[in-house]
Amino acid sequence: MNMALALEEIGGGTAEQWMWMQASYKLAQARRERAATEHRARERHA
């Protein structure tokens, strides 16, 4: 959160925008990890 505020201070958008982007990135990572885990599980049981 401090980084989002720092970026906001230097004119890089709002802190809310940075927090939303970070949350979106983490969600995408979690989805990729889940898909990879499911893929590995299917390969083991094939």
Question: For residue 4, what are the contacts with CB-CB under 8 A and spacing of at least 6?
Answer: 15, 16, 18, 19, 22
When the pLDDT of each residue in the chain is averaged and rounded to a whole number, the result is 95
φ/ψ region of 14 (left if φ > 0, alpha if ψ in -120 to 50, else beta) reads beta
Residue 39: predicted pLDDT: 95
For residues 2-21, average pLDDT: 96
The DSSP letter of residue 11 is: T
Question: Looking at the predicted structure, is the pLDDT value of residue 19 above 80?
Answer: yes
Question: Looking at the predicted structure, is the pLDDT value of residue 46 above 80?
Answer: no
Residue 38: predicted pLDDT: 95
* Helix boundaries (H) for the chain: 2-9, 15-44
In the block, which residue shows the tokens 């709002």? 14
Question: Looking at the predicted structure, is the pLDDT value of residue 45 above 90?
Answer: no
Q: What is the C-alpha to C-alpha distance for residues 32 and 10, in angstroms, rounded to an integer?
A: 32
